[in-house]
Amino acid sequence: MSDYLETALELAASAGQIMLEYFDIGVPADWKDDDTPVTVADEAINQMVVERVAAQYPEHGVIGEEASLVKSESRFQWVCDPIDGTLPYTLGIPTNVFSLALCDDGQPVVAVVEDPYLRRTYSATLGGGAFVNDDELVVSDRAGLRGSIMNVSGRSRGNAAWGAAIYYDLERAGVQQLHHNSMVYEVIQVASGMFDGAIFTKTTPWDAAAGALLVKEAGGKATDLYGREQRYDRAIRGAIFSNGLLHEELQALVSPHIIE
């Protein structure tokens, strides 16, 4: 496990350097079919991950937002979001991160998230705890929704209506909501105890794999929108992240709004 973590940390450091190299107000971007931007930094980071994994672990696959290394027969898959929060990245807003998880048979066993602006590296290994740099991460101890801090992410296109419905139900429950346009950025706040929960309504695994392990190893809980465990090496069924104390209440709030 230590070798895999070392590799993930090296990739995160390199990704952070690339992010800083291109970061500016008004980073040029192209727009993909899903109406999200992609920059040269996204593509360079994703390609770097593919090339290094192929060189170091040729039997492993990579599932990346911008590029993948298809090894469908392998139990080991590196799930990568080169820049989660590309829109704020293009605007010169530093609420974006590099995210990488190694999944073994669908379950994250190593996770690294890099915030190069604040020089924070978040890491976790299965059974080994979660850390930011050398400090251990611990989720919050809030036991009620009122006054809690959360986020709903992924309210776009086909799921806009029900994502908004969850948002408004949280508002009515007295939840304070902050939105950074980066699911991973918000989930590391859950793992850090700054947020009490986060809800993700999309199916993209690279937005959830690393965060799921970080939250769990920090003492919290991560499930799909139905409150069940799930694989993170394929399309996911959304995600709920919490400090654990609020998880059942959150899942009950989300449940009436789920559209199959």
pLDDT on residue 167: 87
pLDDT on residue 258: 79
pLDDT on residue 135: 98
The CATH code of domain 2-136 reads 3.30.540.10
Q: Which residues of the chain have pLDDT under 70?
A: 1, 155-162, 259-260
Q: What is the DSSP letter of 203?
A: -
Listed residue (216, 217, 180, 219) closest to 200, CA to CA: 180
- Other CB atoms within 10 A of residue 29 CB: 18
Alpha helix (H) residue ranges in the chain: 2-22, 40-56, 86-90, 160-172, 183-191, 209-217, 247-254
User: pTM, whole model, 2 decimals?
Assistant: 0.96
Specify the pairing of strand 129-132 against strand 120-125. Answer: antiparallel
Q: What are the boundaries of each domain within the chain? A: 2-136, 149-257
pLDDT on residue 186: 97
Name the fold adopted by 149-257. Answer: D-Maltodextrin-Binding Protein; domain 2 (3.40.190)
pLDDT on residue 115: 98
pLDDT on residue 157: 44
pLDDT on residue 155: 56
The pLDDT tens digits for 181-222 are 999 999 999 999 999 999 998 999 999 999 999 999 999 999
